Structure 1
Amino acid sequence: MGPAFLLPTGSEDELTADKWGVGPTGVVLRQQGPWTYGGLFNHLVDFAGDDDRSDISTTFLQPFMSYTTPNAVSYTLNSESSIDWENHDSSVPINAIISKVLPIGGHPFSFGGGLRYWVKSADNGPEGLGLRFQVVALFPK
């Protein structure tokens, strides 16, 4: 458990809320053999910024479940849902991802891809089926 912050860092009006925000964040995680499951959450409320912009009160929920094989292939199912309490709107994508850990230059990276389906989307948000690709640098102990 700890803090989450919203900073007005966008370079263009379309890319920023022009608000400062803060709220709690936390994760619950359990690893049991090859399975990892749990959830991440945070809630942000604005406290300063451009008064001409909409107020912010948003919740982010990310439940996840992953199975990792002995040869470092992971099969993951998760959601990255957000709820906009001010505008009474929400987005609910479901992600199915396959990833593999591979070393490049002696440093491990995770490469993955999969499908995303938007169960619910904000009025101006994406709809239907999409693709997702990711590359993550890993820093083991």
Structure 2
Amino acid sequence: MKVFSNNTKRLLFAVCFVLSFQSYGQEEKPGASAQELADKLANPVASLISVPLQNNFNYGIGPYNGVKYTVNIQPVIPFKLSDNLNLITRYILPVVDQRNITGLNTHEFGLSDATVTAFFAPKSKKIIYGIGPAFLVPTATEKFLGTEKFGLGPSLLVMHQGKGLSVGFIANQIWSVAGADDRADFNSFYTQIFLSHSYKSGANWGVNAEITQNWEGNTTLISLNPMMGGITKFGDQVVQFSVQPLIPIVGHQSIKPDWGLRAVVAFVFPGS
């Protein structure tokens, strides 16, 4: 249990760290463009390079009260295809440290499977949308951390954005198409419905609901996640911080945590 105590300390430190910089961002007012930058970061298909590090802490998972800490490395890289069309590529590479998930006194650490999404996003001032393929790439370094399957399927984003207000959803459905024959097929749907509000200082708050449906295992996981954050600078480097309690609403006892917390640090390159 000593390791979990260390994880708890990390969690508390991350919360204090994020909140302190959120306050700093409000006091220092990084600039007139801070709100515009916050709005762009709320738009998953904005033409903006960012590298978020999403820290997820989940406690009380399954029959052994397992603990799971996941760092999602999530670079977003846009490509201009024409004056009216962008290709927005999003990558999620999870690094997982978990205990008592697959059994009592078990421990797994390593990479999980990566997800790569490519959105073709026409420029629009009213309804913003993007559509494209999503890929599951078997990058897991531990058997219990991945599917050993390669998958693909469609992804979709629809949102409306005004100054200071963003609302919409992002979704994908992925099926396994190749991989280890002795592993279960992958068939999963994911969607996130989100709303956020930003201020001139770059501070922002919001809420999102995440829904994951495993069709193969017939399990559903739904969480409601309030959010608060802000934008500041380290020298010339623009950084966004946010913190979210993860409130589980629906889920099978084998996958539903008792509670969770998410802390995000995103390195932003607005000039790109």
Higher relative contact order (CA 8 A, sep 6+): 2
The structural deviation recorded for 1:42 is: 0.3
Instruction: Say whether 1:49 aligns with 2:179.
Output: yes
User: For structure 2, which runs of at least 5 residues remain unmatched after alignment?
Assistant: 1-130
After TM superposition, list the pairs within 5 Å mapping 1:106-121 onto structure 2: 106-121=236-251
State the SS of the aligned residue for 1:80: strand
CA deviations on 1:64-113 (whole Å, 9 max, x unpaired) are: 00000111111010022110011110110111110100111211111111
Residue aligning to 1:17: 147
How far apart, in 2, do the equivalents of 1:127 and 1:6 lie? 24
How far apart, in 1, do the equivalents of 2:216 and 2:189 lie? 11
After TM superposition, list the pairs within 5 Å mapping 1:71-110 onto structure 2: 71-110=201-240
Instruction: Compare CA radii of gyration and give the structure with the larger one.
Output: 2
Residue aligning to 1:129: 259
How far apart, in 2, do the equivalents of 1:36 and 1:100 lie? 15
Looking at secondary structure, tell me which structure has more helix per residue. Answer: 2
State the SS of the aligned residue for 1:5: strand
The structural deviation recorded for 1:127 is: 2.6
State the SS of the aligned residue for 1:138: strand
Q: Percent identity?
A: 28
Asked if 1 retains the 8 angstrom alpha-carbon contact of 2:191 and 2:210, the reply is yes
The structural deviation recorded for 1:140 is: 1.6
Runs of 4+ in 1 over 6 A off after TM superposition: none
How far apart, in 2, do the equivalents of 1:65 and 1:128 lie? 24
User: For structure 1, which runs of at least 5 residues remain unmatched after alignment?
Assistant: none
CA deviations on 1:16-39 (whole Å, 9 max, x unpaired) are: 100010000111121112101111
TM-align CA RMSD: 1.2
How far apart, in 2, do the equivalents of 1:135 and 1:126 lie? 25
Q: How many residues align?
A: 141
How far apart, in 2, do the equivalents of 1:21 and 1:114 lie? 29
Asked if 2 retains the 8 angstrom alpha-carbon contact of 1:119 and 1:128, the reply is no
